[in-house]
Amino acid sequence: MNTQLSAIVEVCREAGLALEGAVPEHCEVTGIAAVQDCGPGDLVFADKPALLNYVLERHPRVVVTARGLREKLAAVGPATVVLLTGQVSLAHALIKQRYAARDFAAAGWEGPVHPSAVVHPSAMVGADTFIEPRVVVGRNAVIGARCRIMSGAVVEHDAIIGDDSIVHPNAVIGYGCRLGKEVVVGAGSVIGAEGFGFAQDANRRSHPIPQTGIVVVGDRVRIGANNTIDRATYAETRIGSGTKFDNLCHVAHNVEIGEDCLLTAMFCIAGSSRIGNRVIASGQTGVIDHVSVGDDVVLVHRAGVVKDIEQPGVYASLPTQPMDEYLRNTAAARKGAELRRRVADLEKMRAED
């Protein structure tokens, strides 16, 4: 990487994020690094006071830091350019995406379609798309432009993948499922697995109800490694644009998840439930079937959703409670042992009287 700082600042400006500070003419950045390991040509990000000592010690070329930390860098020398912003993490994302993201071409596979891949003659593959070794692309599948389908992935018949998407190794895009643009599917994930639908007879033997719907994934969705998103029974399981899944998440059949959600590891949602927009779920959150979670809800502390949540806010525990109520109940529970001891002492004193 050898890039003019002015070009880096322009990348943020185009995205609506201002980086404040004087930009010297012909200021070149040679790398993006962690502040703890940086060198003289690097650009670094420092959003905490504890990180600023590294800046003073290691003299990176540029530091992007929070406005409130500017005075703590008063001693920085002229060799380091200080740029200020109210959103250091966002600056980190925008700049590293442009200049230091993974180089998929570094794998060096022969392309655009590797000789070991099997692509059905009726499939359509867009311009500048790479199909890596042992990929299988089924009948009438459509893969957009500038995609990368990585080693061992399977795109079944009639599936559609939008432009600029990446399907990581050994992932499966099930038949008929539709992915939007700029979608990332992690290694080992299955989009369009058979939904879990059974009917039991008088002897409690289970008979499958064929799940013949599809999964529809919006634009800019990130699906982590080893996720499973089940196809609907008849219509669609839907994932809204901009939503991001961590690893090891499960979405059951007929679920609808809104836009710009953040769903972390072991998130699990049962069939026919609905999640609104901008919902955040911390690890091991569970949602039972046929319930709704409204917009702007945050679920924490292994939340277990067993009934509808209509109001925005933070909810915790099983069954879910508003956060302030949960904290009061937790505090009271901590005192339970002491209360039991005091009651036992009082009962003993009364018996002795």
Antiparallel, parallel or unpaired: β 268-269 and 286-287 = parallel
| Pair 196, 312 in one domain | yes
Q: Which of 18-32, 194-208, 223-237, 328-342 has the lowest mean pLDDT?
A: 328-342
Query: With contact defined as beta carbons under 8 Å apart, do 21 and 9 qualify?
Result: no
Q: Among 29-33, 78-82, 342-346, which stretch is predicted with the lowest mean pLDDT?
A: 342-346
Predicted confidence band at 148 (pLDDT cuts at 50, 70, 90)? very high
Among all chains, which residue has been given the structure tokens 């779920």? 281
Provide CB contacts within 8 A for 308, sequence distance 6+: 291, 292, 293, 294
The predicted model scores a pTM of 0.89
Helix, strand and coil percent figures for the chain, each rounded to 5 = 20, 30, 50
Beta bridge partners of 130: 148
> Are both 126 and 193 inside the same structural domain?
yes
Residues 95 and 119 in one domain: no
Same domain for 240 and 307, yes or no, is yes
Residues 94-107 pLDDT 10s: 999 999 999 999 99
Q: Per the domain annotation, does 340 fall within a domain?
A: no
Residue 338 lies in a domain: no
Average model confidence (pLDDT) across the chain: 95
Residue type, 155: V
Q: What is the pLDDT of residues 256-310, one digit of tens each?
A: 999 999 999 999 999 999 999 999 999 999 999 999 999 999 999 999 999 999 9
The pLDDT confidence band at residue 255, using thresholds 50, 70 and 90, is very high
Would residue 19 count as lying in a domain?
Answer: yes
The answer to whether position 334 is within a domain reads no
Q: What is the pLDDT of residues 51-91, one digit of tens each?
A: 999 999 999 999 999 999 999 998 898 899 999 999 999 99
> How far apart are the C-alpha atoms of 49 and 92, rounded to whole Å?
17
Residue 138 confidence (pLDDT) above 90: yes
Helical (H) or strand (E) element with 299? strand 297-300
Q: Which residues are catalytic?
A: 253
On whether residue 13 sits in a domain, the answer given is: yes
- Local confidence band at 122 (pLDDT 50, 70, 90 cut-offs): very high
| 114 band by pLDDT with thresholds 50, 70 and 90 | very high
Please state the domain count of the chain: 2
Residues 113 and 94 grouped into a single domain: no
Residues β-bridged to residue 113: 131
- Asked if pLDDT for residue 125 goes beyond 80, the answer is yes
Top pLDDT among 352 and 132 is at: 132
Shared domain check, 189 and 76: no
Average pLDDT over residues 220-249: 98
Cα separations in angstroms, 27 against 43, 309, 337: 11, 52, 64
pLDDT of 346 reads 85
Residue 332 scores a pLDDT above 80: no
Let me know if residue 353 belongs to a domain: no
- Do residues 174 and 270 share a domain? yes
* Domain boundary residue, one of 43, 71, 99: 99
* Residues 157 and 255 placed together within one structural domain of the fold: yes
For residue 335, pLDDT over 80 is answered with: no
Least Cα distance to 274 among 255, 298, 260, 259 occurs for: 255
Mean pLDDT across 115-126: 98
Phi, psi of 16 (to 5 degrees): 90, 15
Same domain, 241 and 296: yes
**Which domain, by its residues, includes 281?**
109-328
CATH code assigned at 234: 2.160.10.10
pLDDT of 331 > 80? The answer is no
- Retrieve residue 346's tokens: 């009082």
Domain containing 69 — which CATH number? Answer: 3.40.1390.10
pLDDT(232) > 80: yes
pLDDT score at 345: 82
Using 50, 70 and 90 to split pLDDT, how confident is the model at 158? very high
Per the document, the length of the chain is 353
Q: Read off the pLDDT band of 340 (50, 70, 90).
A: confident
Rounded (5°) CA angle 255-202-195: 20
User: Nearest 5°: CA angle at 300, between 236 and 17?
Assistant: 80
d(CA 183, CA 222): 6
- Distance from C-alpha of 65 to C-alpha of 53, rounded to nearest angstrom: 13
Same domain? 87 vs 135: no
pLDDT at 351: 83
Give the strand pairing for 178-179 and 160-161.
Answer: parallel
Domain finish residue from 42, 68, 99: 99
| Residues 119 and 162 grouped into a single domain | yes
Asked if residue 142 and residue 228 are part of one domain, the reply reads yes
In a domain, 140, yes or no: yes
Residue 128 in any domain: the answer is yes
Which token pair is 14? Answer: 């185009």
Domain boundary among 56, 72, 99: 99
